[in-house]
Chains A and B, each alone.
Chain A
Amino acid sequence: MRDGKASRNRIRTGQVDCTWAGLERAVLPRKAAVAADDHTQAILAVNAHLDDPGELLVASVARFDDVIVDELRAAGFSIVRGLGTDEAHVEEPSVEGQADPGCIWLLTSGSTGRPKRVRHSLAGLTTVTAQQPDRTWLCAYSPGSYAWWQVISLGLAHAGTGVVCVEVDELDGWPRLARETGVTAVSGTPTFWRHAIWRDAQEVAAIPLVQATLGGEPVDQALLDSLRRLHPEARVSWIYASSEAGSAIAVHDGMAGFPQAWLDQEIPGRPRLSVINGELVLNSPFASSGNATNFRTGDRVKISGGRVRITGRIGWDEINVGGSKVSAAEVREVLLRHPAVAWAAVRGRRAPIVGQVVVGDVVLSSEADEATLRNWCVRSLADYAVPRRIAILSEIPLNESMKSDV
């Protein structure tokens, strides 16, 4: 995987800026779960795996709660903390197990319950195989997530592809970091982009981007249009992928959703996309073990105007207002179309008589008040779908995964 050319690719984190070949060599147990404090430790784990492909799970240390640690140790994993530091520590497994060389495990987000382990390999995670132009990618995904591996695998598979990882404490100033480190391509969640544009759109515009990629959350047209205005020459793409399903959809036309004509097409080596009862269903060659056939994504889709749009998670998206069903994603989109709204979240709130009413939180980029935004919604939404309360927040809420939109 890491051939002679790719080993000369640049890898930059908060603590290192060198080639993959120049990284400090770390040694991992044959079956290791690495709790990474930062990108540096995660990259050292990947590098150790390249040198000696054992069985590896790497994730942000925040994911390692007591239950996860117990589960991993019972599955034969050694828990590695502080990799590459003076505080490096290995917690032995509670049950000895044979390592499966080359196996890479990912933790699902746990959005529908406890996080699950899903099985991949570096070859399977390397979904971009066509020759790539020389680029320096900025990676703003959480270490060990599927999207993180997607960017890291680019740097391992393609000569001339550098990767600049943004540490958590660098997130606020990433556009400047991108300029200073020669970044030409950026991949991040919609929340990550929205936050940066809201903070300083001109800083984002000043990055010499040829590629802007969004993934990890539903993507709305307003955000794609913002990126297009800031970077008219760059290719703006959005990716649909998950730990279980792998990389399934890549859209490069600057439009939200994907063409309806893509549904139910059988193309060798490509995922088959289907919609069953309003849910996206995938048959993907990039899926993790056991999830390649008829994988129900749990994501709701809406088909209109020849596009299939992913609106949000089934179960989270529906708000029942006195028996009338409201899609939180649709209300959110209406709010996001208002020129003063930089970010929005919509949910149901417990209320008398009707059970739930629609409420929202917004962050503004220019002057507006609650009444203005409600009147805006009245124009596009049924009465019961109009948010009855809209809180105006001072900051876009961010979490470690850079997902806060849904």
Chain B
Amino acid sequence: MAEVLAGQGKTLPEDDLTDLRLIGFRSLDFSELALRVEDEVGVELNFDAPDLRRIGTVGDVLDFLVSLTT
């Protein structure tokens, strides 16, 4: 996530409760992050399984990705 933000000249906040809208982390950024995870773990993720609507904070993003990879 830090890499995605760094590509836009932004920094990943330390507080996991930070609202994604405040740091300008948009749906495209989230998609990119998912692809990076796929490339890293070498497995195609099932994007349909979890409920995406709950993702509002930095922590939600990280929890979501963990749920996809475990």
For B30, list chain A residues within 8 Å (CB). Answer: 352-353
B32's contact among A322, A350, A357, A371, by CB below 8 Å, is which?
Answer: A357
Q: Are A353 and B7 in contact (CB under 8 A)?
A: no
Q: Are B47 and A350 in contact (CB under 8 A)?
A: yes
Which A residue sits closest to B55, measured CB to CB? Answer: A353
For A388, list chain B residues within 8 Å (CB). Answer: 28, 31-32, 35
Q: Are B36 and A351 in contact (CB under 8 A)?
A: no
For residue A324, give the distance in angstroms from its CB to the closest CB of chain B.
Answer: 10
Given contacts A352-B47, A389-B39, contact A321 B28 (CB under 8 A): yes
For residue A374, give the distance in angstroms from its CB to the closest CB of chain B.
Answer: 7
Q: How far is the CA of A383 from the CA of B32 in the complex (A)?
A: 13
Q: Mark B6-24, 1 if CB is under 8 A from A, else 0.
A: 0100000000000000000
For residue B28, give the distance in angstroms from its CB to the closest CB of chain A.
Answer: 6
Q: Are A351 and B7 in contact (CB under 8 A)?
A: no
Q: B58 in the interface, Cβ–Cβ < 8 Å? A: no
For residue B40, give the distance in angstroms from its CB to the closest CB of chain A.
Answer: 12
Size of interface on A: residues with Cβ below 8 Å to B: 16
Q: A384 in the interface, Cβ–Cβ < 8 Å? A: yes
Say whether chain B's binding surface is mostly helix, strand, loop, or mixed: helix
Q: A302 in the interface, Cβ–Cβ < 8 Å? A: no
Q: How far is the CA of A362 from the CA of B16 in the complex (A)?
A: 35
Q: A349 in the interface, Cβ–Cβ < 8 Å? A: yes
Q: Are B7 and A352 in contact (CB under 8 A)?
A: no
Given contacts A350-B47, A353-B52, A374-B7, contact A384 B34 (CB under 8 A): no
For residue B56, give the distance in angstroms from its CB to the closest CB of chain A.
Answer: 13
For B39, list chain A residues within 8 Å (CB). Answer: 389
Which residues B22-67 have CB closer than 8 A to chain A? 27-28, 30-32, 34-36, 39, 45, 47, 52
Given contacts A371-B7, A374-B7, A389-B39, contact A352 B34 (CB under 8 A): yes
For residue A377, give the distance in angstroms from its CB to the closest CB of chain B.
Answer: 12
Which A residue sits closest to B46, measured CB to CB? Answer: A352
Most chain B beta-carbon neighbours within 10 Å: one of A321, A350, A374, A388: A388
For residue A4, give the distance in angstroms from its CB to the closest CB of chain B.
Answer: 63
For residue A348, give the distance in angstroms from its CB to the closest CB of chain B.
Answer: 11
Q: Are A389 and B27 in contact (CB under 8 A)?
A: no
Which B residue sits closest to A353, measured CB to CB? Answer: B27
Binding site for B on A (CB under 8 A): 321-322, 349-354, 357, 359, 371, 374, 383-384, 388-389
Binding site for A on B (CB under 8 A): 7, 27-28, 30-32, 34-36, 39, 45, 47, 52
